[in-house]
A and B are shown apart, each in its own frame.
Chain A
Amino acid sequence: MDLAFTKEEIAFREEVRDFFKNNVPPDTRRKLQEGRHLSKDEMVTWWRILNKKGWGTTHWPKEYGGTGWTSVQHYIFNEELQSYPAPQPLAFGVSMVGPVIYTFGNEKQKKEYLPRIANVDDWWCQGFSEPGSGSDLASLKTKAERRGDKWIINGQKTWTTLAQHADMIFCLCRTDPAAKKQMGISFIVFSMKSKGVTVRPIQTIDGGHEVNEVFFDDVEVPYENLIGEENKGWDYAKFLLGNERTGIARVGVSKERLRRIRALASKVEAGGRAIIEDPAFREKLTACEIELKALELTQLRVVADEGKHGKGKPNPASSVLKIKGSEIQQTTTELLMEVIGPFAAPYDEHGDAGSNESMDWTAQIAPSYFNNRKVSIYGGSNEIQRNIISKAVLGL
C-alpha cells in the first residue's frame, strides 16, 4: 500500500497543469469560476484546443484516438481539468455515445461518427428521460417503427441537456412493444436537424436554460442509424450509465469551489471581521474539506481497482462516489450562500449565458446554489444509487 503518487505521475500532473495554464482562454476560466454559463462558441473553441493536443478523448482506446493513459493518469487529468477550472469534454459525445459506438457500433459508424465526436463537429445530446420515465427509465414510450429502410420515430424526450446546441441525438426508442419492458428498446442515433424534431426550452429554478423538451413527430431516420442490435438498447444504456457514474464524484470541481470559498470568506466581512475568522463558519468549511478528502481517496480506491481488474463491469462502489460527490457539491454552494449573505438577493434576468460582463462575482451564487440541487437527481438519483448499493453490494 502506497498512497503517494510516483515521480512520473507528479511530472504528468505538472505537464497537464502547464498545458491548462497556457491554453485555457482566461475568460472561459473566469466564467467557470464565477459559476456562469458558457456560450457554445466558448466551449467548442476549448474542446478543439484539447482535441488538437490529443486530449479530447483521453479514455478511448488508442486505435480510436485515446491516450493509453493509466487510470491514475486519467484521474489526475480530470482533477486538474476540474480544479483549474476548464470545461470538461462534452460528456454526451465523448463519455457516453462515443464508447457505445466504438464498443457496439459497426465499422462504418465508427468511421463516420468518432472523429466528429472528438472534434465536436457534431454536438451530441442524450435522448433518454421522458415525462413518464425518469428513474424508471425502462418504461419509456418513444416509438421507432421500421418502415422499409427507415425508422419512423414518434414521442417525447425531456431534460435533454443543451439540446439547443445539438446536431445529433442518441435516443432510446421502443422498437418491440410486445416485449417485456427492458427487452424491446433500441439505441438509435440521428440528426437533430431532421424534419419533425422540435426543441422547447425548459427554464430551471436558477433562471438558466440548460435543459429542454424534445418532440419527435414522424421523424424519418435511416435504418442503418441503429447502433448494435435491435432490441438490445437497454444493455448499451446500462453500459453507458456505468461509464457516467465513475466520473461523477467531481472532486476537482468541489476542490476549486472550496478554495474560492476560503478566498471570498477572507475578504467578506461580518461583525467587524472576515467571515473566515468566525470559528463556526470555519469549522463548517473544514468539515466539508475533510469529507472531500475522504471522497478523493474513495475515488482513488475505485480508480486503482479499475486499473487492476480492468474496466469491464462498473464497480458498484462508484455509487458511493455519486452520493457523496453530489452532497459535497451541494454543500459547497450552500457555503457560498452563507458567505454572500443578504447580497444573494439581486436577480439578473438576463445574466444567463454569461453575456453580461459587468456582473460582479455575487450574481451567480444564488443561481448556482439553486442549480446544484440537480446533482443529486441526475445521473441516477441518489435514491437510485442507494438501491444499487443495497442490492449489488449488500445483497438486500
Chain B
Amino acid sequence: MDFDLSEEQRLLKESIDGLLTDAYDFDARKKYMKEKGGWSKAVWGKLAEQGLLGLPFAETDGGFGAGAVETMIVMEALGKALVVEPYLATVVIAGGFLRHGGSAEQKAKYIPGIIDGSQTFGFAQLEKNSRYDLFDVVTTAKKKGDGWVIDGEKFVVLNGENADVLIVTARTKGGQRDKSGIGVFLVPADVKGVTKKGYPTQDGLHAADITFTNVEVGADAVIGDGENGLALIERVADEARIALCAEAVGAMDESLKETVEYIKTRKQFGVAIGSFQSLQHRAADMFVALEQARSMSMFATMASDFDDAKERSSAVAAAKVQVGKSLKFVGQQSIQLHGGIGMTMEAKIGHYFKRLTMIENTLGDTDYHLRRVSEGGGLLA
C-alpha cells in the first residue's frame, strides 16, 4: 500500500508539468487550435522529444516500458493544461491496440511512427446506433482473397480528420449485437474509399465522421484473428477510460484552483465573495468531489493490470461513475461561482467545463457504467 510516486515518476511529472507550463498557457492553446488540423505539430514534436509519446511501449519496441501510473501522470497534466493534441487517440488507444494485440510486423510498422511523432491515429468505433456498446457493430469487413473489404459509417472519430492511420472495428460474422465476429483493422487514412467529414468538437478538439466504401486492405491489416476482437477492444477501451479519468482529475483540480482564486479576488458588497459561507461550502463540496474522483482514478489505474477482465472492467466502470458525478458537480459549480464571467468564451474556466462534459459522454457515461457495475453484481461482491 503506497500512494507515493517513485523517484522516476516524480521526475516524469515535473518534466511534463514544466513543458506544459512553458508551452501551453491559455493564449498559446488558442493559437494551436487555429493551426491546420486544430493542434500544434510543434507541441507534438516536443512531446516526442521528451519521450512522452513512447512511454507505454516496450523497450524492445523502442519505448520506455512505462506502466499505467505513468500514463495517469501524463493524462492528469494534459487535463490541467487542456491539451488538444491527440495523445489519447494515438498513444493510449492506438498504442494499446498495437501493444496488446499487434503482431511483430504490425508493431515494427507502426510503433516507431508513434514514438517519433510522425504518425497520429484515430479510433473509428462509434456507429449511429451503437452508442456506448463496443460490441454493437454493423460496419462489415468481408474476406476478399487474402485481404478484407470494409464497408460502413463511423462517427465522432477523435483526431479522425488528421489521423494517418485509423483503427476500425468491423463485423466479420454474425448480427449487429453479437459479441463474437468482431475484428479490428488498421486502415491507412488515405486509401481509396475512405471519406472524412471533419469538424471541431464542443471542447476544442477535432473529430470526423468517416465513411468506408469498399475499402480494400491487405491480410496484414487485421489485428488478431478478425473474429474475436471484442476482448481486445474492451481492454483498450478500459485503458482509454482510465486515461480519461486521470485527465478529468487534472481538469477538475485546475478548475477548482481557478475558482478558489477567483472568489478570493472578486469583490462584491465591498468584500471578496469567497468570504461568504455559502460559496465556501460549495467550494468545500467541490474539493470533496475532486478527492473522491482522484481516489477512484488511482483505483482504476491500478486495476488496468488486473488479470481478471471482469474485475478490471468493473473497477474501471466504477471509476467512470465516480468521476462522472464529480466532474459534473465541479464543472457546473465552477461556472456558477465565477458568475457571468464564467459564461464567456474568453475565460478559461468554461473550457474546463466543456472538456469535462465531453469526457462524461466519451466511452460510456455515468448511467451506462453504473448499469454495468450493477448488472455485474455490484462492487462489494
Q: Are A1 and B3 in touch, CB under 8 angstroms? A: yes
Query: For the complex, is B1 an interface residue (Cβ under 8 Å from A)?
Result: yes
Q: Which residue of B lies closest to A9 (CB)?
A: B1
A5 touches B283 (CB 8 A): no
CA distance A379 to B252 in the complex (A): 29
The verdict on B58 contacting chain A, using a C-beta distance below 8 Å, is no
Q: Which residues of A contact B296 (CB under 8 A)?
A: 290, 293-294, 297
Those of A273-314 within 8 Å (CB) of chain B: 279, 282-283, 285-287, 289-295, 297-298, 300-301, 304-305, 308
Q: Does B203 contact A (CB under 8 A)?
A: no
- Shortest distance in angstroms between B22's beta carbon and chain A's nearest beta carbon? 26
With A283-B374, A301-B295 known as contacts, the answer to whether A324 contacts B288 (CB < 8 A) is yes
Question: Which residue of chain A has the shortest Cβ distance to B366 in the bound complex?
Answer: A287
**How large, as a class, is the contact surface on chain B?**
35 or more
Distance of A320 Cα from B294 Cα, bound (Å)? 13
Is A389 part of the contact surface with B, judged by Cβ < 8 Å? yes
Taking a contact as CB atoms under 8 Å apart, the answer to whether A4 and B302 are in contact is yes
A383 to B278, CA, bound (A): 10
Cβ contacts under 8 Å, A395 to chain B: 260, 264
* Residues of chain B contacted by A394 (CB below 8 angstroms): 260, 280, 283-284, 287
Verify if B250 is at the interface (C-beta below 8 Å from A): no
Q: Are A390 and B280 in contact (CB under 8 A)?
A: yes
B379 within 8 A of A: yes
Question: Does A374 make an interface contact (CB < 8 A)?
Answer: no
| Contact between A283 and B284, CB atoms less than 8 A apart | no
Q: Is the CB of A290 within 8 A of B371?
A: no
Chain B positions 261-304 with a Cβ under 8 Å from a chain A Cβ = 263-264, 274-275, 277, 279-281, 283-285, 287-288, 291-296, 298-299, 301-302
**Hey, what's the 0/1 contact readout for A358-396 against B, CB within 8 Å counting as 1?**
000000000000000000000000010111011101111
On chain A, the residues within 8 Å of B321 by CB distance are: 287, 290
Give the size range of A's interface with the partner.
Answer: 35 or more
Whether A396 lies near B280 (C-beta < 8 A) is yes
* Binding stretch for chain B, among A25-33, A152-160, A254-262: A254-262
The complex places the Cα of A282 from the Cα of B373 at a distance, in Å, of 10
Which residues of B have CB within 8 Å of A112?
none
- Asked if B21 CB lies within 8 Å of chain A CBs, one says no
A2 close to chain B: CB less than 8 A:
yes
Task: Contact check, B1 vs A4: say whether CB atoms are below 8 A apart.
Answer: yes
Give the interface SS of chain B, mostly helix, strand, loop or mixed: helix
Task: Check A6 for interface membership: any CB of B closer than 8 A.
Answer: yes
Cβ contacts under 8 Å, A172 to chain B: none
C-alpha spacing A9/B1, complex, angstroms: 9
Q: Is the CB of B380 within 8 A of A3?
A: no
Chain A interface SS verdict (over half): helix
Q: Contact: A279 with B5, CB < 8 Å?
A: no
Chain A residues whose C-beta falls within 8 Å of the C-beta of B50 in the assembled complex: none
For B287, give the chain A residue with the smallest CB separation: A389
Check A323 against B288 for contact (C-beta < 8 Å).
Answer: yes
By a CB distance below 8 angstroms, the chain A residues around B288 are 320, 323-324, 389
Over the window 72-92 of chain A, the binary record of Cβ atoms lying under 8 Å from chain B Cβ atoms (1 yes, 0 no) is: 100000000000000000000
User: Inside 8 A of A289's CB, which chain B residues have their CB?
Assistant: 318, 373, 378-380
Known A-B contacts A279-B371, A283-B371; A258 and B281 likewise in contact (beta carbons under 8 Å):
no
Contact present for A396 and B275 (CB under 8 Å) = yes
Contact indicator per residue, chain B 93-136, by CB within 8 Å of chain A (1) or not (0): 00000000000000000000000000000000000000000000
Nearest chain B CB to A335 CB, angstrom units: 12
**Nearest A-chain residue to B302, judged by Cβ:** A3
Chain A residues with Cβ under 8 A from B263's Cβ? 396
Q: Flag whether A183 is at the interface (Cβ < 8 A).
A: no
Partner pick for B281 among A5, A294, A390, CB 8 A cutoff: A390
**5 pairs of A and B residues whose beta carbons are closest in the complex:** A297-B295, A390-B280, A386-B284, A389-B284, A286-B374
What are 12 residue pairs bridging A and B, where the CB atoms are less than 8 Å apart in the complex? A1-B298, A262-B380, A262-B381, A286-B373, A290-B318, A290-B322, A290-B373, A320-B287, A323-B288, A387-B277, A393-B284, A394-B260
Interfacial residues, chain A to chain B (CB-CB below 8 A): 1-6, 9, 72, 255, 258-259, 262, 279, 282-283, 285-287, 289-295, 297-298, 300-301, 304-305, 308, 317, 319-320, 323-324, 383, 385-387, 389-391, 393-396
Residues of B within 8 A of A (CB): 1-6, 9, 69, 260, 263-264, 274-275, 277, 279-281, 283-285, 287-288, 291-296, 298-299, 301-302, 318, 321-322, 370-371, 373-374, 378-381
